[in-house]
Amino acid sequence: MIYSIKILWLLLKTQIRSQTQYRLSFLADVFTTAIFSSIYFLAFALILQRFETVAGWTLGEIAFLVGMTETSFAFMDLLFSGFDPDSFSPMVRMGSLDQFMVRPVSLTIQVLGSRLILRRMGRVLEGLAVLAFGIVTTQPDWTWLKTFYLPVVLVCQVICMGSIFMMGSTITFWTVERIEAVNILTYGGNELMSYPMNIYPRWLLFIFTYFVPFIFVNFYPTLYFLDKPDPLNFPVFAPFLTPLVAIGMALAAYWFWGYGLRHYQSTGT
């Protein structure tokens, strides 16, 4: 375990070093990423000038929702760069994965360490800015439990979306080509959780409550943080299911990744 973490850190350190070599172009990259990422929230803020609220949520409240999921998604995107299906698929195709497999270190560690796209920091910053805007405009009533629970939720979100990333990459073992459908759960999941989820059709809500329980990852915790009434009448503990969902998804991802690897070993590419 310690050995694995040591190797991971060593791998990441080398990544950081080579990416920050040219400081100015690196900072410019972070900055453009931040601008690019804010485009969708910006568009939403603009449309609210005509409509004022959506499903009873103000711009500030939406900003809280968006800020949470943006921050954790972006952080996950940074940390799990190696498992980004976009970069994992070429790894399978070009045989880098074979290279990893002939080394005596856990493959997961090597994939995580293979890539760290630092410019994604820009999106983390954007997410944090939107979250800060949301908190300042909504002025939530902070209790000690809320203060403690907020970072827990953020960590759980990172785990949930990281698991999805891993599962998405695992599918590449069968398809080789990058599968755009994975975006449904990664980028799509982020988008889905950016708005109050009761606006979606019933069947969709059902899927994201009982199969991929995204509803407990951002929507319910946010209802709790902002003391908003629950439009769907779930039990009162619904906002506190987040850690459970995170653990469940992490386990599922771990299992599926192992299963995919076994498949890869039996078919190659």
Asked if 127 and 73 count as a contact pair (C-beta separation under 8 A), the reply is yes
Helix/strand/coil percent split, the chain, to 5: 80, 0, 20
Distances (CA, A) of 120 to 42, 96, 112, 124, 186: 19, 23, 15, 7, 15
Give the nearer residue to another protein in terms of CB position, either 201 or 235: 201
CB of 53 to another protein, least distance (A): 9
Is residue 224 within 8 A of residue 140, CB to CB? The reply is no
Which H or E run contains 44? helix 23-51
- The nearer residue to another protein, 23 or 50, going by C-beta atoms, is 50
Pick 42 or 136: Cβ nearer another protein: 42
- The minimum distance between CB 239 and another protein, in angstroms, equals 21
Which positions touch another protein (CB under 8 A)? 3, 6-7, 10-11, 14, 17-18, 28-29, 32-33, 35-36, 39-40, 42-44, 46-47, 49-51, 54-55, 94-96, 98-99, 101-106, 119, 175, 177-184, 188, 191-192, 195-196, 199-201, 204, 262, 265-268
For the CB of residue 137, give the shortest distance to another protein in the complex, in Å: 19
- Answer whether 212's CB lies under 8 Å from 190's CB: no
Query: C-beta of 39: minimal distance to another protein in Å?
Result: 5
CB of 224 to another protein, least distance (A): 21
Q: Which is nearer to another protein, 244 or 262 (CB)?
A: 262
> How many Cβ atoms are within 10 Å of 50's Cβ, its own excluded?
6
